[in-house]
Amino acid sequence: MWQIIGIAGVFAAIGVGYTIAGGKFGVILNAAGPELLIIGGSGIMTLLIANEIVVVRNVMKVLKRAFTGPQWRRSDYADALCLMFLLVRVLRQEGNVALERHIENPSASPIFSRYPRLLADPTLVSFIADVLRSVTLNVTDPHTVGEMMESEIRKRHTEELRAAKALNTVADAFPALGIVAAVLGVIKAMGAISESPEILGHMIGSALVGTFLGVFLAYALVGPIAARMKGVIEEEGTMLPVIRQVILSHLEGLAPQLSVEVARKLVPSRHQPSFDELDRMMNETAKSVRTAKAE
């Protein structure tokens, strides 16, 4: 929402300022079509040249989240902590065999099924299942498992950031592409040097629109959107470290509730549940699980 307001504000500030200065939009509007084709089309092609097709697809995927915001909400972090509480509780109280029933087929697990938004994310589910599967195979050294999880998190975060970096590369290219469009316009004007000063002035003004559009797109639109995409990706990337900390704390011998409490500290401040809130949720969750088993 705020991103849309910001974009509208950029157009309004530039448009009002240009109007107050006595500028006429006719020249810009007449030249905008060809100049945007040159700059925008070339910019998209640089995106294709510099990146694999999977990265280009991710740009379009993450671009939506730049406006809608990060995937994970406050309730999702609380649910993730409760999910991990239940899983490490099963591992601690019932052993590896009982846990395997949940991680071998998470979609059929009554524990995972309690949290459909988390279950719908294959990256999160596969991370949890793969790590806990290693634990059930007696890979229980905290250092070894911690390094394994850290490497996986770092790899996935790097892959996610490629989309923002790719769009930022396009933003960096726009000013130069604007100069290319302007030079083409000057070449056109020089080819009509015998025309009247009024016609030449219109041609040169149209050529300069290319420079304006290149700088405008780079620093007022695409660059800020790329920065927003990076921020969204980095915030979403905090979910896996939270999961990692629960598992690591469990392997270091902490009780399930204490493991979750340590991990709670890693949740972004604006999404972080309070100690009392999370404690109440875990108690209610444990109670409902006991009731379901009794039935």
pTM of the full structure: 0.85
Q: What is the DSSP letter of 270?
A: G
Specify the pLDDT at position 294: 57
Residues 6+ apart with CB under 8 A from 117: 76, 79
Look up tokens 């405008």; give the residue.
Answer: 216
Specify the pLDDT at position 115: 94
Any long-range contacts for 23-29 (C-beta under 8 Å, 24+ apart)? Answer: 27/202, 27/205, 27/206, 27/209, 28/209, 28/212
d(CA 96, CA 85): 15
249 contacts 73 by C-beta, under 8 angstroms:
no
- Please list the ranges in the chain whose pLDDT falls under 50: none
Token couple for 75: 């309730």
Query: Three-state DSSP class for 9?
Result: helix
Residue 272's identity, in one-letter code, is Q
What is the separation of C-alpha 42 from the centre of its chain, rounded to a whole number of angstroms? 25
Token couple for 26: 């006719």
Nearest to 148 by CA among 257, 251, 258: 251
Name the burial class of residue 215, with classes exposed (0-12), middle (13-18) and buried (19+) by CB atoms within 10 angstroms of its CB. Answer: middle
Specify the pLDDT at position 61: 85
Nearest to 103 by CA among 285, 247, 259: 247
